Chain A
Amino acid sequence: MNSDPVQDILTAGDSREPQSRSIAVPIWLIVLMVLLLYWGAVYFDQNGGWFSAKVYSPYRSLQEVESFQFRAGAGDVFELGRMVYNKPTCVACHQASGQGNPGQFPPLAASEWVNEPEPGRMIRLVLNGLQGPITVKGQSFNNSMVAWNMLSDQEIAAVITYVRQNKEWGNNAPAVTPAQVKSVREKIVKAHPAPFNPDELMKISPAE
Protein backbone atom coordinates (compact mmCIF):
# COMPACT_ATOMS: atom_id res chain seq x y z
CA MET A 1 0.00 0.00 0.00
CA ASN A 2 1.43 3.33 -1.10
CA SER A 3 1.41 5.95 1.57
CA ASP A 4 0.26 9.50 0.83
CA PRO A 5 3.33 11.75 1.36
CA VAL A 6 1.22 14.68 2.45
CA GLN A 7 -0.61 12.59 4.98
CA ASP A 8 2.74 11.31 6.19
CA ILE A 9 3.98 14.77 6.93
CA LEU A 10 0.79 15.81 8.65
CA THR A 11 0.57 12.76 10.85
CA ALA A 12 4.27 12.40 11.53
CA GLY A 13 5.41 13.49 14.95
CA ASP A 14 3.53 16.24 16.72
CA SER A 15 0.06 16.88 15.38
CA ARG A 16 -0.39 20.22 17.17
CA GLU A 17 -0.41 23.45 15.21
CA PRO A 18 2.91 25.30 15.23
CA GLN A 19 2.98 28.12 17.75
CA SER A 20 5.16 31.19 18.04
CA ARG A 21 6.95 31.52 21.30
CA SER A 22 7.70 34.75 23.06
CA ILE A 23 11.31 35.79 23.28
CA ALA A 24 12.34 38.40 25.81
CA VAL A 25 13.47 41.74 24.27
CA PRO A 26 17.18 42.11 24.99
CA ILE A 27 17.82 44.61 27.73
CA TRP A 28 20.33 46.64 25.63
CA LEU A 29 17.60 47.36 23.07
CA ILE A 30 15.35 48.81 25.78
CA VAL A 31 18.22 50.95 27.05
CA LEU A 32 18.94 52.15 23.50
CA MET A 33 15.30 53.04 22.92
CA VAL A 34 15.09 55.00 26.17
CA LEU A 35 18.29 56.85 25.29
CA LEU A 36 16.95 57.69 21.81
CA LEU A 37 13.71 58.91 23.32
CA TYR A 38 15.66 61.09 25.73
CA TRP A 39 17.80 62.53 22.95
CA GLY A 40 14.71 63.18 20.85
CA ALA A 41 13.00 65.01 23.70
CA VAL A 42 16.06 67.16 24.37
CA TYR A 43 16.41 67.94 20.65
CA PHE A 44 12.76 68.93 20.41
CA ASP A 45 13.02 71.08 23.50
CA GLN A 46 15.97 72.95 22.04
CA ASN A 47 14.83 73.27 18.43
CA GLY A 48 11.11 72.64 18.24
CA GLY A 49 9.78 75.93 19.57
CA TRP A 50 7.10 73.94 21.38
CA PHE A 51 4.81 73.90 18.32
CA SER A 52 4.30 77.65 18.49
CA ALA A 53 2.83 79.04 15.28
CA LYS A 54 5.10 82.06 15.70
CA VAL A 55 8.37 80.13 15.68
CA TYR A 56 9.87 79.13 12.34
CA SER A 57 13.35 77.88 11.66
CA PRO A 58 16.03 79.24 11.86
CA TYR A 59 14.58 80.53 15.14
CA ARG A 60 14.49 77.88 17.83
CA SER A 61 12.23 79.37 20.48
CA LEU A 62 9.76 82.15 21.06
CA GLN A 63 12.40 83.92 23.15
CA GLU A 64 14.75 83.94 20.20
CA VAL A 65 12.09 85.39 17.88
CA GLU A 66 11.29 88.00 20.49
CA SER A 67 14.93 88.97 20.76
CA PHE A 68 14.76 90.05 17.12
CA GLN A 69 11.86 92.44 17.69
CA PHE A 70 13.30 95.90 17.66
CA ARG A 71 10.24 97.92 18.41
CA ALA A 72 10.34 101.32 19.98
CA GLY A 73 12.47 101.14 23.08
CA ALA A 74 11.46 102.61 26.39
CA GLY A 75 13.97 105.40 25.86
CA ASP A 76 12.50 106.62 22.60
CA VAL A 77 9.23 108.44 23.25
CA PHE A 78 8.83 109.51 19.62
CA GLU A 79 9.01 105.91 18.36
CA LEU A 80 6.61 104.75 21.06
CA GLY A 81 4.27 107.51 19.93
CA ARG A 82 4.52 106.35 16.33
CA MET A 83 3.53 102.87 17.47
CA VAL A 84 0.58 104.14 19.49
CA TYR A 85 -0.55 106.36 16.61
CA ASN A 86 -0.51 103.41 14.22
CA LYS A 87 -1.94 100.91 16.67
CA PRO A 88 -4.41 101.75 15.00
CA THR A 89 -5.75 104.64 17.02
CA CYS A 90 -5.33 108.10 15.52
CA VAL A 91 -4.30 106.75 12.12
CA ALA A 92 -7.82 105.49 11.39
CA CYS A 93 -9.17 109.04 10.97
CA HIS A 94 -6.20 111.39 10.79
CA GLN A 95 -4.28 109.11 8.37
CA ALA A 96 -0.63 108.07 8.45
CA SER A 97 0.27 111.37 6.80
CA GLY A 98 -1.51 113.40 9.51
CA GLN A 99 -3.54 115.10 6.80
CA GLY A 100 -6.92 113.88 8.05
CA ASN A 101 -9.76 113.54 5.60
CA PRO A 102 -11.03 116.74 3.97
CA GLY A 103 -14.51 117.64 5.16
CA GLN A 104 -14.56 114.79 7.70
CA PHE A 105 -11.54 114.68 9.95
CA PRO A 106 -9.26 117.67 10.52
CA PRO A 107 -5.54 117.50 9.75
CA LEU A 108 -2.91 117.25 12.47
CA ALA A 109 -0.11 118.38 10.20
CA ALA A 110 0.65 122.07 10.77
CA SER A 111 -2.59 122.42 12.74
CA GLU A 112 -2.82 125.38 15.10
CA TRP A 113 -4.53 123.14 17.68
CA VAL A 114 -1.54 120.78 17.70
CA ASN A 115 1.12 123.45 17.72
CA GLU A 116 -0.07 125.36 20.78
CA PRO A 117 2.91 125.92 23.07
CA GLU A 118 1.02 124.49 26.06
CA PRO A 119 -0.56 121.06 25.59
CA GLY A 120 -3.53 121.37 27.98
CA ARG A 121 -6.24 121.46 25.30
CA MET A 122 -4.74 118.68 23.26
CA ILE A 123 -4.39 116.36 26.27
CA ARG A 124 -8.03 117.02 27.14
CA LEU A 125 -9.39 116.32 23.70
CA VAL A 126 -7.35 113.13 23.36
CA LEU A 127 -8.48 111.92 26.78
CA ASN A 128 -12.18 112.66 26.47
CA GLY A 129 -12.77 113.07 22.78
CA LEU A 130 -14.32 115.98 20.95
CA GLN A 131 -17.84 116.80 19.87
CA GLY A 132 -19.03 119.79 17.89
CA PRO A 133 -17.94 122.25 15.23
CA ILE A 134 -14.23 123.02 15.09
CA THR A 135 -12.17 125.16 12.76
CA VAL A 136 -8.73 123.88 11.80
CA LYS A 137 -6.45 125.70 9.34
CA GLY A 138 -9.38 127.84 8.21
CA GLN A 139 -11.64 124.88 7.43
CA SER A 140 -14.59 123.92 9.57
CA PHE A 141 -15.33 120.37 10.61
CA ASN A 142 -18.26 118.96 12.52
CA ASN A 143 -17.74 115.41 13.62
CA SER A 144 -17.05 113.54 16.81
CA MET A 145 -13.77 112.16 18.09
CA VAL A 146 -13.55 109.06 20.23
CA ALA A 147 -12.25 109.34 23.80
CA TRP A 148 -8.87 107.63 24.20
CA ASN A 149 -8.83 107.53 28.01
CA MET A 150 -8.19 103.77 27.91
CA LEU A 151 -4.59 104.49 26.87
CA SER A 152 -2.05 104.87 29.65
CA ASP A 153 -0.56 108.24 30.62
CA GLN A 154 2.70 107.16 29.07
CA GLU A 155 1.05 106.17 25.79
CA ILE A 156 -0.95 109.38 25.53
CA ALA A 157 2.11 111.47 26.32
CA ALA A 158 4.06 109.56 23.67
CA VAL A 159 1.43 109.86 20.96
CA ILE A 160 0.88 113.58 21.59
CA THR A 161 4.64 114.09 21.55
CA TYR A 162 4.83 112.17 18.28
CA VAL A 163 2.19 114.40 16.72
CA ARG A 164 3.54 117.65 18.14
CA GLN A 165 7.15 117.00 17.24
CA ASN A 166 6.60 115.43 13.84
CA LYS A 167 8.83 117.55 11.63
CA GLU A 168 7.67 115.69 8.52
CA TRP A 169 4.21 117.09 9.17
CA GLY A 170 5.55 120.58 9.81
CA ASN A 171 4.86 120.39 13.53
CA ASN A 172 7.31 121.58 16.15
CA ALA A 173 5.88 121.98 19.64
CA PRO A 174 7.29 121.01 23.03
CA ALA A 175 7.04 117.41 24.20
CA VAL A 176 4.40 116.21 26.65
CA THR A 177 5.28 114.25 29.77
CA PRO A 178 3.22 111.45 31.37
CA ALA A 179 3.02 113.63 34.50
CA GLN A 180 1.18 116.35 32.57
CA VAL A 181 -1.28 113.79 31.21
CA LYS A 182 -1.77 112.39 34.69
CA SER A 183 -2.58 115.75 36.24
CA VAL A 184 -5.08 116.61 33.48
CA ARG A 185 -6.68 113.19 33.74
CA GLU A 186 -7.16 113.65 37.49
CA LYS A 187 -8.68 117.06 36.94
CA ILE A 188 -11.27 116.01 34.35
CA VAL A 189 -12.10 112.45 35.32
CA LYS A 190 -14.90 113.58 37.67
CA ALA A 191 -15.48 117.14 36.57
CA HIS A 192 -15.93 116.51 32.84
CA PRO A 193 -16.49 112.89 31.85
CA ALA A 194 -18.17 113.75 28.51
CA PRO A 195 -16.44 114.68 25.24
CA PHE A 196 -15.29 118.28 25.08
CA ASN A 197 -16.84 120.92 22.88
CA PRO A 198 -14.22 122.99 21.01
CA ASP A 199 -15.75 126.20 22.40
CA GLU A 200 -15.42 124.81 25.91
CA LEU A 201 -11.78 123.99 25.27
CA MET A 202 -11.05 127.52 24.11
CA LYS A 203 -12.19 128.80 27.50
CA ILE A 204 -9.71 126.59 29.34
CA SER A 205 -6.26 127.98 29.86
CA PRO A 206 -3.96 125.66 27.87
CA ALA A 207 -1.32 125.73 30.59
CA GLU A 208 -3.59 123.98 33.06
Chain B
Amino acid sequence: MKYGALVFLSAFLALAASWGGLILAPQIQVGRGQQETNAVNSAELYPQARPGLARQGLSVYRANGCADCHTQQVRQTGSQCDVVLVDAGTNAEALAEALMKANVGISKASAAGLAVGLPKPILRRVPANLAKSTVSAIQSVGAKGKVEIVALGPDIARSWGPRRNVAADYLFDDPVLLGSQRIGPDLANVGLRLPDPTWHLRHLYEPRSEVKGSLMPPYRFLFERRKTGPHPSSEALQLSGKLAPPAGWEIVPRPEALALVAYLRSLRSDTPLFEAPMSSSAPAQTNAPAR
Protein backbone atom coordinates (compact mmCIF):
# COMPACT_ATOMS: atom_id res chain seq x y z
CA MET B 1 0.00 0.00 0.00
CA LYS B 2 1.82 2.98 -1.36
CA TYR B 3 -0.48 5.69 0.16
CA GLY B 4 -1.27 3.98 3.46
CA ALA B 5 -0.31 6.92 5.64
CA LEU B 6 -2.30 9.32 3.47
CA VAL B 7 -5.43 7.13 3.55
CA PHE B 8 -5.14 6.79 7.31
CA LEU B 9 -4.67 10.49 7.78
CA SER B 10 -7.65 11.41 5.57
CA ALA B 11 -9.91 8.94 7.36
CA PHE B 12 -8.72 10.27 10.70
CA LEU B 13 -9.33 13.88 9.67
CA ALA B 14 -12.80 13.08 8.32
CA LEU B 15 -13.83 11.37 11.56
CA ALA B 16 -12.16 13.99 13.74
CA ALA B 17 -13.98 16.79 11.90
CA SER B 18 -17.39 15.22 12.45
CA TRP B 19 -16.55 14.39 16.08
CA GLY B 20 -15.49 17.97 16.61
CA GLY B 21 -18.58 19.39 14.96
CA LEU B 22 -21.17 17.06 16.46
CA ILE B 23 -19.76 16.37 19.93
CA LEU B 24 -16.97 18.74 20.91
CA ALA B 25 -18.48 22.01 19.67
CA PRO B 26 -21.93 21.46 21.28
CA GLN B 27 -20.17 20.37 24.47
CA ILE B 28 -18.20 23.61 24.56
CA GLN B 29 -21.31 25.59 23.63
CA VAL B 30 -23.92 24.27 26.07
CA GLY B 31 -22.31 21.33 27.84
CA ARG B 32 -21.45 23.25 30.95
CA GLY B 33 -25.05 24.31 31.48
CA GLN B 34 -25.74 24.63 35.16
CA GLN B 35 -28.77 25.48 37.12
CA GLU B 36 -28.77 29.24 37.01
CA THR B 37 -30.87 31.99 38.51
CA ASN B 38 -31.88 32.93 35.05
CA ALA B 39 -35.63 32.86 35.30
CA VAL B 40 -36.39 36.43 34.30
CA ASN B 41 -37.63 38.70 37.12
CA SER B 42 -37.67 35.90 39.64
CA ALA B 43 -35.46 34.39 42.31
CA GLU B 44 -36.31 30.87 41.19
CA LEU B 45 -33.59 28.58 40.01
CA TYR B 46 -34.30 27.05 36.67
CA PRO B 47 -34.73 24.25 35.92
CA GLN B 48 -35.69 22.31 39.02
CA ALA B 49 -34.90 18.62 39.26
CA ARG B 50 -37.90 16.32 38.94
CA PRO B 51 -39.29 14.66 42.04
CA GLY B 52 -38.44 10.96 42.39
CA LEU B 53 -41.66 9.50 40.98
CA ALA B 54 -41.46 11.69 37.88
CA ARG B 55 -37.83 10.70 37.42
CA GLN B 56 -38.91 7.04 37.41
CA GLY B 57 -41.61 8.02 34.94
CA LEU B 58 -38.96 9.14 32.50
CA SER B 59 -37.71 5.56 32.23
CA VAL B 60 -41.31 4.31 31.76
CA TYR B 61 -41.72 6.92 29.00
CA ARG B 62 -38.51 5.71 27.44
CA ALA B 63 -39.26 1.99 27.82
CA ASN B 64 -42.67 2.28 26.19
CA GLY B 65 -41.32 4.17 23.20
CA CYS B 66 -43.42 7.25 23.77
CA ALA B 67 -40.65 9.28 22.13
CA ASP B 68 -41.29 7.39 18.87
CA CYS B 69 -44.55 9.27 18.36
CA HIS B 70 -44.19 12.34 20.57
CA THR B 71 -41.64 15.12 20.43
CA GLN B 72 -40.68 17.35 23.32
CA GLN B 73 -39.55 20.46 21.53
CA VAL B 74 -41.62 23.50 20.75
CA ARG B 75 -40.27 25.51 17.86
CA GLN B 76 -40.68 29.17 17.19
CA THR B 77 -40.39 31.12 13.97
CA GLY B 78 -40.28 34.62 15.37
CA SER B 79 -40.98 37.03 18.19
CA GLN B 80 -42.83 40.30 18.13
CA CYS B 81 -44.16 42.71 20.70
CA ASP B 82 -47.43 44.27 21.72
CA VAL B 83 -47.42 47.54 23.64
CA VAL B 84 -50.14 47.78 26.26
CA LEU B 85 -51.12 51.09 27.80
CA VAL B 86 -51.73 50.38 31.48
CA ASP B 87 -52.26 53.84 32.90
CA ALA B 88 -52.80 56.99 30.84
CA GLY B 89 -51.46 59.26 33.56
CA THR B 90 -52.89 62.69 34.17
CA ASN B 91 -51.77 64.55 31.08
CA ALA B 92 -53.60 63.05 28.10
CA GLU B 93 -52.37 65.72 25.72
CA ALA B 94 -48.73 65.15 26.56
CA LEU B 95 -49.26 61.41 26.14
CA ALA B 96 -50.78 61.89 22.70
CA GLU B 97 -47.91 64.16 21.75
CA ALA B 98 -45.30 61.72 23.02
CA LEU B 99 -46.90 58.89 21.08
CA MET B 100 -47.03 60.99 17.94
CA LYS B 101 -43.37 61.87 18.40
CA ALA B 102 -42.54 58.19 18.86
CA ASN B 103 -44.01 57.80 15.38
CA VAL B 104 -46.14 54.76 16.00
CA GLY B 105 -48.96 55.70 13.68
CA ILE B 106 -51.29 57.26 16.23
CA SER B 107 -52.98 60.42 15.04
CA LYS B 108 -54.01 63.30 17.24
CA ALA B 109 -57.69 62.50 16.67
CA SER B 110 -57.42 58.88 17.82
CA ALA B 111 -55.17 59.87 20.71
CA ALA B 112 -58.13 61.46 22.47
CA GLY B 113 -59.69 58.05 23.09
CA LEU B 114 -56.52 56.52 24.47
CA ALA B 115 -57.46 56.75 28.12
CA VAL B 116 -60.69 54.79 27.71
CA GLY B 117 -60.86 51.12 28.63
CA LEU B 118 -57.40 50.58 30.06
CA PRO B 119 -55.34 48.46 30.01
CA LYS B 120 -55.49 48.17 26.26
CA PRO B 121 -53.01 47.36 23.53
CA ILE B 122 -52.04 50.37 21.46
CA LEU B 123 -49.48 48.66 19.24
CA ARG B 124 -49.66 45.14 17.90
CA ARG B 125 -46.96 42.93 16.40
CA VAL B 126 -44.13 45.46 16.29
CA PRO B 127 -40.36 44.88 16.55
CA ALA B 128 -38.81 44.95 20.02
CA ASN B 129 -36.91 48.21 19.58
CA LEU B 130 -40.01 50.13 18.54
CA ALA B 131 -41.89 48.67 21.52
CA LYS B 132 -39.10 49.68 23.87
CA SER B 133 -38.93 53.26 22.58
CA THR B 134 -42.72 53.57 22.69
CA VAL B 135 -42.84 52.44 26.31
CA SER B 136 -40.14 54.89 27.32
CA ALA B 137 -42.05 57.63 25.50
CA ILE B 138 -45.16 56.64 27.46
CA GLN B 139 -43.23 56.63 30.74
CA SER B 140 -41.66 60.00 30.05
CA VAL B 141 -45.06 61.70 30.41
CA GLY B 142 -46.00 59.92 33.62
CA ALA B 143 -48.18 57.24 32.04
CA LYS B 144 -47.50 53.52 32.31
CA GLY B 145 -47.07 51.06 29.50
CA LYS B 146 -45.81 47.54 29.27
CA VAL B 147 -44.58 45.25 26.56
CA GLU B 148 -46.01 41.82 25.88
CA ILE B 149 -43.82 39.49 23.88
CA VAL B 150 -45.72 37.49 21.28
CA ALA B 151 -44.09 34.25 20.19
CA LEU B 152 -44.93 33.19 16.66
CA GLY B 153 -44.96 29.89 14.86
CA PRO B 154 -47.16 26.89 14.08
CA ASP B 155 -46.27 25.11 17.33
CA ILE B 156 -47.20 28.16 19.38
CA ALA B 157 -50.42 28.53 17.39
CA ARG B 158 -51.31 24.92 18.29
CA SER B 159 -50.84 26.03 21.91
CA TRP B 160 -48.10 23.49 22.47
CA GLY B 161 -46.16 26.01 24.48
CA PRO B 162 -45.71 29.71 25.18
CA ARG B 163 -42.13 29.84 23.86
CA ARG B 164 -39.53 27.71 22.14
CA ASN B 165 -37.58 25.10 24.04
CA VAL B 166 -33.92 25.74 24.80
CA ALA B 167 -31.11 23.61 26.18
CA ALA B 168 -31.77 24.66 29.78
CA ASP B 169 -35.19 22.98 29.66
CA TYR B 170 -33.55 19.54 29.36
CA LEU B 171 -30.87 19.87 32.03
CA PHE B 172 -32.31 17.07 34.18
CA ASP B 173 -33.38 14.75 31.34
CA ASP B 174 -31.14 11.74 31.03
CA PRO B 175 -31.38 10.74 28.25
CA VAL B 176 -32.99 13.70 26.54
CA LEU B 177 -36.06 12.32 24.77
CA LEU B 178 -36.53 14.94 22.09
CA GLY B 179 -38.32 12.63 19.67
CA SER B 180 -38.30 13.10 15.95
CA GLN B 181 -41.80 12.23 14.74
CA ARG B 182 -45.03 13.97 15.57
CA ILE B 183 -47.54 11.19 15.20
CA GLY B 184 -49.00 12.51 18.43
CA PRO B 185 -48.87 16.05 19.76
CA ASP B 186 -45.77 17.63 21.21
CA LEU B 187 -45.44 16.99 24.94
CA ALA B 188 -42.97 19.69 25.99
CA ASN B 189 -45.74 21.45 27.94
CA VAL B 190 -48.22 18.66 28.52
CA GLY B 191 -48.07 19.20 32.28
CA LEU B 192 -49.18 22.76 31.69
CA ARG B 193 -51.99 21.89 29.26
CA LEU B 194 -53.34 18.86 31.08
CA PRO B 195 -52.65 19.02 34.79
CA ASP B 196 -55.33 16.47 35.79
CA PRO B 197 -53.74 13.12 36.73
CA THR B 198 -57.01 11.20 36.43
CA TRP B 199 -57.36 12.44 32.84
CA HIS B 200 -53.92 11.05 32.04
CA LEU B 201 -54.72 7.68 33.65
CA ARG B 202 -57.99 7.31 31.74
CA HIS B 203 -56.21 8.43 28.58
CA LEU B 204 -53.48 5.83 29.00
CA TYR B 205 -56.08 3.13 29.64
CA GLU B 206 -58.24 4.07 26.65
CA PRO B 207 -57.05 7.11 24.65
CA ARG B 208 -60.21 7.35 22.55
CA SER B 209 -62.36 7.81 25.64
CA GLU B 210 -60.68 11.20 26.14
CA VAL B 211 -59.57 12.25 22.65
CA LYS B 212 -61.89 11.36 19.81
CA GLY B 213 -60.08 9.79 16.88
CA SER B 214 -56.81 9.41 18.77
CA LEU B 215 -54.21 7.19 17.08
CA MET B 216 -52.56 6.30 20.36
CA PRO B 217 -52.58 2.63 21.38
CA PRO B 218 -54.08 1.86 24.78
CA TYR B 219 -51.52 1.04 27.46
CA ARG B 220 -53.70 -1.34 29.46
CA PHE B 221 -50.75 -3.36 30.74
CA LEU B 222 -49.94 -0.40 32.95
CA PHE B 223 -53.15 -1.14 34.85
CA GLU B 224 -54.31 -4.02 36.97
CA ARG B 225 -57.82 -5.43 36.78
CA ARG B 226 -58.67 -6.92 40.12
CA LYS B 227 -61.52 -7.83 42.42
CA THR B 228 -62.62 -5.01 44.64
CA GLY B 229 -61.60 -6.10 48.11
CA PRO B 230 -63.09 -4.89 51.36
CA HIS B 231 -61.22 -1.62 50.82
CA PRO B 232 -61.70 -0.32 47.26
CA SER B 233 -58.63 1.46 45.92
CA SER B 234 -58.81 5.22 45.96
CA GLU B 235 -56.79 5.25 42.76
CA ALA B 236 -59.17 3.02 40.79
CA LEU B 237 -60.16 4.53 37.43
CA GLN B 238 -63.58 6.13 37.19
CA LEU B 239 -64.74 4.62 33.92
CA SER B 240 -68.18 4.76 32.42
CA GLY B 241 -70.10 3.00 29.65
CA LYS B 242 -68.52 0.07 27.84
CA LEU B 243 -65.18 0.56 29.57
CA ALA B 244 -66.53 0.25 33.09
CA PRO B 245 -65.44 -2.99 34.77
CA PRO B 246 -68.19 -5.36 35.95
CA ALA B 247 -69.49 -4.87 39.47
CA GLY B 248 -67.06 -6.14 42.07
CA TRP B 249 -64.04 -5.41 39.88
CA GLU B 250 -61.85 -2.35 39.64
CA ILE B 251 -59.08 -1.13 37.38
CA VAL B 252 -56.10 0.15 39.35
CA PRO B 253 -53.01 1.83 37.88
CA ARG B 254 -49.77 -0.03 38.45
CA PRO B 255 -46.80 1.96 39.86
CA GLU B 256 -45.47 2.37 36.28
CA ALA B 257 -48.63 4.20 35.23
CA LEU B 258 -48.46 6.51 38.25
CA ALA B 259 -44.79 7.23 37.56
CA LEU B 260 -45.50 7.94 33.89
CA VAL B 261 -48.32 10.31 34.77
CA ALA B 262 -46.09 12.08 37.32
CA TYR B 263 -43.48 12.47 34.59
CA LEU B 264 -45.99 13.80 32.06
CA ARG B 265 -47.29 16.31 34.59
CA SER B 266 -43.73 17.48 35.26
CA LEU B 267 -43.29 18.41 31.60
CA ARG B 268 -43.59 22.14 31.32
CA SER B 269 -41.30 24.82 29.98
CA ASP B 270 -43.06 28.09 30.54
CA THR B 271 -40.42 29.99 32.49
CA PRO B 272 -39.25 33.20 30.87
CA LEU B 273 -35.53 32.84 30.27
CA PHE B 274 -32.99 35.25 28.89
CA GLU B 275 -32.46 33.10 25.82
CA ALA B 276 -36.16 32.40 25.38
CA PRO B 277 -37.95 35.63 26.24
CA MET B 278 -41.67 35.42 26.75
CA SER B 279 -44.22 37.77 28.14
CA SER B 280 -43.48 38.39 31.77
CA SER B 281 -47.15 39.01 32.45
CA ALA B 282 -47.41 35.27 32.92
CA PRO B 283 -46.12 34.34 36.37
CA ALA B 284 -42.67 32.77 36.44
CA GLN B 285 -43.02 29.02 36.62
CA THR B 286 -40.68 26.14 37.12
CA ASN B 287 -40.98 22.71 35.58
CA ALA B 288 -41.90 21.28 38.94
CA PRO B 289 -45.18 19.38 38.76
CA ALA B 290 -48.32 21.43 39.02
CA ARG B 291 -49.76 21.19 42.49
Contact = CB atoms under 8 A, between A and B. Distances in A.
Interface stretch (A26-34, A62-70, A127-135, A190-198): A62-70
A65 B275 contact: yes
A71 B129 CA distance: 14
Contact of B136 (A53, A54, A75, A92): A75
Interface of A: 51, 53-59, 64-65, 67-71, 73, 75-76, 82-83, 86-88, 91-92, 96
Interface in B215-274: 274
Given A53-B167, A56-B275, A58-B76, A71 B41 contact: yes
Contacts of B275: 53-56, 59, 65
Nearest to B166: A56
B160 to A, nearest CB: 16
A57 B166 CA distance: 10
A73 B136 contact: yes
A73 B135 contact: yes
> Which 7 residue pairs across A and B have the least CB separation, nearest first?
A68-B277, A67-B128, A88-B43, A86-B43, A54-B275, A75-B139, A70-B147
Contacts of B152: 58
Interface in B126-141: 127-129, 131-132, 135-136, 139-140
Contacts of B78: 58
Nearest to A65: B275
Contact of B274 (A54, A87, A92): A54
A58 B127 CA distance: 13
Contacts of A71: 40-41
Contact of A56 (B136, B139, B164): B164
B46 to A, nearest CB: 13
Contacts of A87: 43
B88 interface: no
B140 A70 contact: no
Given A55-B275, A70-B132, A86-B42, 5 more contacts: A59-B79, A67-B127, A68-B149, A73-B136, A86-B43
A67 B129 contact: yes
Contact of A67 (B40, B132, B136): B132
B136 A69 contact: no
B185 interface: no
B149 to A, nearest CB: 6
